[in-house]
Amino acid sequence: MRKRILLLASLVAALAAIGAFASAQHAAARVVASVASCPTVKAGQLTIGTDNPAYPPWYAGGTHGSKWKINDPSTGKGYESAVAYAIAAKLGYARTKVSWTYVPFNKAFAPGSKSFDFDINQISYTPARAKVVTFSKSYYDVNQAIVVNKGTKIASVRSIAGLRSYKLGAQLGTTSYQFIKSRIKPSQTPSVPSSNAAAVLLLKNKQIDGLVVDLPTAFYVTAAQVPNSKILGQFENTAGQTTDHFGVVLQKGNPLAACVNKAITTLRANGTLKKLQQTWLAKATGAPILK
Amino acid sequence: MAGESDRRADLEVDRARGSRLVSSLRSGGDSRRSVAIALLSTVVFFVAVGVAITHAPGWPEVRSQFFDWGEFKATFPEVARAFLLNVKIFSIAEVLILAFALFLAVLRSLPGPVFFPLRMLAIVYADLFRGIPTILVIAMLGFGAPALGLSYIPKSVTFWGIVSLVLIYSAYVSEVYRAGIESIHPSQEAAARSLGLSHGQTLRRVILPQAVRRVIPPLLNDFIGLQKDTALVGTLGAIEAFQQSQIDTNATFNFTAYLSAAVLFVAITIPLARFTDWLILRDRRRRVAGGTA
Amino acid sequence: MSALTVERLTKSFGKHVVLRGVDLEVAEHEVIALIGASGSGKSTLLRCINLLEAIDDGRIFLGDREITGARDVNAVRRRIGIVFQSFNLFPHMNVMRNVTLAPRDVLGLSKPEAETRAVDLLERFGLADKRLEFPDRLSGGQQQRVAIVRALAMRPELMLFDEVTSALDPELVAEVLQVIGELAEGGMTMVLATHEMSFARDIANRVCFLDEGRILEVGTPEEIFTRPREARTQQFLERIIKARRL
């Protein structure tokens, strides 16, 4: 009997100890957050995250043997790479003080503290997403576009209504899928593959009739990924709706966001953003508009 | 059964003697107290774990991102609808797997030198498809086959998803059948062949009915694995439950949709497991007859 | 013409030689008892006769036709019935199905024909009321009798019994021996491997003593049990008598 009382007592003690430890952790976490006004994960360095592979025209210039497939973000080439370095400069970080880290799309918004200061990866702002992470101001306003194989039936469609009877696809995690569902409303269930590579293959193999992606990506798809394809058209952001735009993603409540927004506002005001768009996304204006 | 009845009677006497001994060592009150302590310490343990988790600094964030009731209610209907595709895939696949795997197991058991190439084929098949990761087969067939450009090859990713799962799981299930077949005592085959039944008749009437009944638990295990692997077809673009929960997750950056999918998968597993338990109980009597080792 | 002729039968399992040139001739309606120590080759001999084991040398004739190396083994086995020590009933089938399986699938009898035949045999041996039971509900003696009925349902020319009572409790042995005795009286050609010496003495026409893979001595029951010629036969019988099994 005595043995049993002892056992119970030790269990209760363990409980109390765990509770005390837990609340001590809580207190410690609160202390760390209130350090600098433009705080970074690693002092003296700006850590930027993006996904691997880093696709054109957002990134350009590969380094041989680099762990970054297709393009290396640290070249400064490509729209997002250029914008990222421009923001870094405004925050006071030279090229050498910027490091890139691989952040798969899902990790950008997973709970817990982030391993990056901000993530730049063609992530569209949505109000729901903004509840979980902090978005910066827009660094690019997005138009959706649709890519098709030349010479197929869908290639002669001239309106959104005409697209409804076809099998469309969009990559998982993009607002392109939401666009298909809310604006096009096709009769067949769209295809939503997990990776860009899969989406491209489906179009190439004619397993889908049309692939919906943002306009700059559409140019890359037709230029490099799917031979004999063309951009059927682009879609306008409808009036009254929040313009679909890309923002960089930061940990919710990260005070660095204010600093980043200041930088972006400056870059927009002094024409840097426009210039970078002209350099890297020039082609992304020529596609016909489908209504 | 023969001498078993005597042996059983002896066992009963021993057991009775034994339990009388044990119960004389403890009084009724003592054993009740032990149960109470066991229950109490289990409860305390889980409460302790629960407290530790809910007091962790990241808990509120985790809870709202993984266990949000509003989000669950919002995502569940669409995820459930998408789950119908999983059900369609594994229902069709399982029927084909059970048949094809049986065929492979029988191939493997064909006796004599003349059937050696067929046996070899079955062995190579099983090794190959158990070795290659499922996602690779699905990707290679789901994209590769339509890429050939032959007009009569279906382009549907669901079709190729089913084909891939059938090819892979048949390899595993054929080994399960084989284990069942080999567990049947050779005297059964001897008795059947002695009556003049051919190898095929023996398999069909005597060996397989017993073998298959014996391996129902591992067959169920593989079926449950299959149900979960249907989620891999989503990577090809088919909107099944997991892909739908990924869509929702990516749209809102909230992971509760995964919980919706998880609940559905568990919901079909439980009745299936109980059904299997019932099957096993019902067949217990027919599994061993007298005198066979 | 004999019902069964075995010439120079030789069988090894790997390096272990089990049968060293066995010669045996069984006339129609004759009952042969095989006796001998464990490992002397009795079971192996029976299993070679119904082609369950492939033989290394020698010939076997069933009636006037050679069956060694027969191409249609199943056809041969239809003509020979064998009952094993462990009853080997099919546990997933009831008694009726156990008995009618081979007549229907192998002989092509229709269901009613096969069932009539089965019921006749089961009635003859007092098992008719058990016909819908599963083997696990039967006593050892009942299971063994069903096994005999199952073999008889094929109307074989020759019945082989491989120590069919050795696994039974003593009080159940008698009912099985009675069945075998009735069969013998009915004129069935039989070869029995057995330890039941008194039974052998009662029903066998001839007794063969197997020793280390060879038939050492053959004779009528009286000759073998009361006046054995070979020393080893005597030794064997002495051991049996000491164990009070004779």
What are the tens digits of pLDDT across the range C134-157?
999 999 999 999 999 999 999 999
CB contact under 8 A, B234 and A194: yes
Reported confidence tier of residue A62, pLDDT bands at 50, 70, 90: confident
Helix (H) or strand (E) holding C65: strand C65-66
Beta-carbon contacts of C44 under 8 Å, excluding residues fewer than 6 positions away, are C11, C18, C19, C53
Question: Residue A143's pLDDT is what?
Answer: 86
Question: Residue B276's pLDDT is what?
Answer: 85
- The model's pLDDT over B195-225, given as tens digits with 9 standing for 90+, comes to 999 999 999 999 999 999 899 989 998 999 9
- Touching subunits of C (3+ CB pairs, under 8 Å) are B
CB under 8 A, 24+ apart: contacts of B77-82: B78/B244, B78/B248, B79/B241, B79/B244, B79/B245, B79/B248, B79/B257, B79/B260, B79/B261, B79/B264, B80/B241, B80/B260, B80/B264, B81/B244, B82/B239, B82/B240, B82/B241, B82/B243, B82/B244
For every residue of chain A, DSSP letters joined together read -HHHHHHHHHHHHHHHHHHHHHHHHHHHHHHHHTS-SS--SSTT-EEEEE-SS--TTTSB---TT-SSSS--GGG-BSHHHHHHHHHHHHHT--GGGEEEEE--GGGGG-SS--SSSEE-SSPBP-HHHHTTEEE-S-SEE--EEEEEETTSGGGG--STGGGTTS-EEE-TTSHHHHHIIIII--SSPPB--SSHHHHHHHHHTTSSSEEEEEHHHHHHIIIIISTTEEEEEE-PPPTTSPPPEE--EEETT-THHHHHHHHHHHHHHTTHHHHHHHHHHTTTT-SPBP-
What is the pLDDT averaged over residues A20-34?
A: 47
Q: How far is A279 from chain B (nearest CA, A)?
A: 30
In a mutational test of the C interface, the residue from B195, B201, B292 whose CB has the highest number of chain C CBs within 10 Å is B195
In chain C, which residue's Cα lies nearest the Cα of B2? Answer: C140
Reported confidence tier of residue B286, pLDDT bands at 50, 70, 90: low
Question: Residue A70's pLDDT is what?
Answer: 84
CB contact under 8 A, C84 and B190: yes
Reported confidence tier of residue C243, pLDDT bands at 50, 70, 90: confident
Percent of chain C with pLDDT strictly greater than 70: 99
Percent of chain C with pLDDT strictly greater than 90: 80
CB contact under 8 A, A190 and B37: no
Between A3 and B46, name the one with better pLDDT.
B46
Residue type (1 letter), C153: A
Residue type (1 letter), B68: D
Reported confidence tier of residue A233, pLDDT bands at 50, 70, 90: very high
Distance of CA A158 to the CA centre of its chain: 30
Between A281 and A255, name the one with better pLDDT.
A255
CB contact under 8 A, C139 and B1: yes
What is the pLDDT averaged over residues B66-74?
A: 91
Question: Residue B292's pLDDT is what?
Answer: 42
Question: Residue A28's pLDDT is what?
Answer: 45
To the question of pTM greater than 0.80 for the whole model, the response is no
CB contact under 8 A, C92 and B191: no
Q: Do B79 and B262 meet the contact criterion of CB atoms below 8 Å apart? A: no
Question: Residue C87's pLDDT is what?
Answer: 75
In chain B, which residue's Cα lies nearest the Cα of A16? Answer: B48
Between C39 and A200, name the one with better pLDDT.
A200
CB contact under 8 A, C141 and B206: no
Is it the case that residue B94 has pLDDT exceeding 60?
yes
Between A271 and B252, name the one with better pLDDT.
A271
What is the pLDDT averaged over residues A213-223?
A: 89
CB contact under 8 A, B61 and A208: no
In a mutational test of the A interface, the residue from B32, B143, B245 whose CB has the highest number of chain A CBs within 10 Å is B143
Q: How far is B181 from chain A (nearest CA, A)?
A: 41
Reported confidence tier of residue B163, pLDDT bands at 50, 70, 90: very high
Question: Residue A239's pLDDT is what?
Answer: 57
Least confident of A107-121, B111-125, C232-246: C232-246
What is the pLDDT averaged over residues A227-235?
A: 92
Beta-carbon contacts of B27 under 8 Å, excluding residues fewer than 6 positions away, are none
CB contact under 8 A, B194 and C77: yes
Whether C105 has its CB under 8 Å from any CB of chain B: the answer is: yes
In chain A, which residue's Cα lies nearest the Cα of B146? Answer: A205
Give the C-alpha separation, A282 to C119, whole Å. 94
**ipTM attached to this prediction:** 0.92
Instruction: Give contacts of B 162-221 with C, CB under 8 A.
Output: 187-188, 190-198, 201, 205-206, 209-210, 213
What is the pLDDT averaged over residues A173-190?
A: 91
Give the C-alpha separation, C118 to C139, whole Å. 19
Give the C-alpha separation, A14 to C168, whole Å. 62
Whether C240 has its CB under 8 Å from any CB of chain B: the answer is: no
Q: Are 3 or more Cβ–Cβ pairs between B and C shorter than 8 Å?
A: yes
CB contact under 8 A, A128 and B157: no
Query: Which one of B41, B147, B251 has the shortest CB-CB distance to A128?
Result: B251
Instruction: Give contacts of C 140-159 with B, CB under 8 A.
Output: 140-141, 143-144, 147, 150-151, 154
Question: Is the bond preceding residue A53 a cis peptide, omega within 30 degrees?
Answer: yes
Question: Residue B22's pLDDT is what?
Answer: 56
Is it the case that residue C83 has pLDDT exceeding 90?
yes
Query: Which one of B197, B287, B290 has the shortest CB-CB distance to C138?
Result: B290
Average pLDDT of the residues of chain C: 92
- Touching subunits of A (3+ CB pairs, under 8 Å) are B
